[in-house]
Amino acid sequence: AQSVTQLGSHVSVSEGALVLLRCNYSSSVPPYLFWYVQYPNQGLQLLLKYTTGATLVKGINGFEAEFKKSETSFHLTKPSAHMSDAAEYFCAVSDRNGNKLVFGAGTILRVKS
């Protein structure tokens, strides 16, 4: 069975600082990996995804993530945090059938001015 672990339920950074949100997955087959963002009282929006090919994936709003098979990780980064990045972020994994997404518990990002 697939699973996702997001280290840190809350992360706080200063505006302009590096954002690093950690995601580790467990999958018996090569996975598809996703990061979603949820702003308060809204649904989820896709930030980026890894399917095949280049392991460094760029997404919207300056975010990127790197798939590291040897570490079973898919950490999300952004070089410089902005106040508007404050939200909850979810890592998710699906198998090659892709019928179902398995989500991590989420990480709430706080950006301090």
In the complex, minimum distance from the CB of residue 113 to another protein, in angstroms, rounded to a whole number:
26
Exactly one of 51, 59, 62, 72 binds another protein (CB under 8 A); that residue is 51
Q: What single-letter amino acid sits at 40?
A: P
Exactly one of 43, 53, 84, 113 binds another protein (CB under 8 A); that residue is 43
Q: What is the CA radius of gyration of the chain?
A: 13
Q: Is 26 in the site for another protein (CB under 8 A)?
A: no
Q: What single-letter amino acid sits at 6?
A: Q
Q: Is 100 in the site for another protein (CB under 8 A)?
A: yes
Q: How far is CA 45 from CA 68, 81, 96, in A?
A: 23, 18, 21
In the complex, minimum distance from the CB of residue 14 to another protein, in angstroms, rounded to a whole number:
26
Q: Which two tokens stand for residue 113?
A: 């001015």
Q: Is 7 in the site for another protein (CB under 8 A)?
A: no
In the complex, minimum distance from the CB of residue 107 to another protein, in angstroms, rounded to a whole number:
10
SS3 105: coil
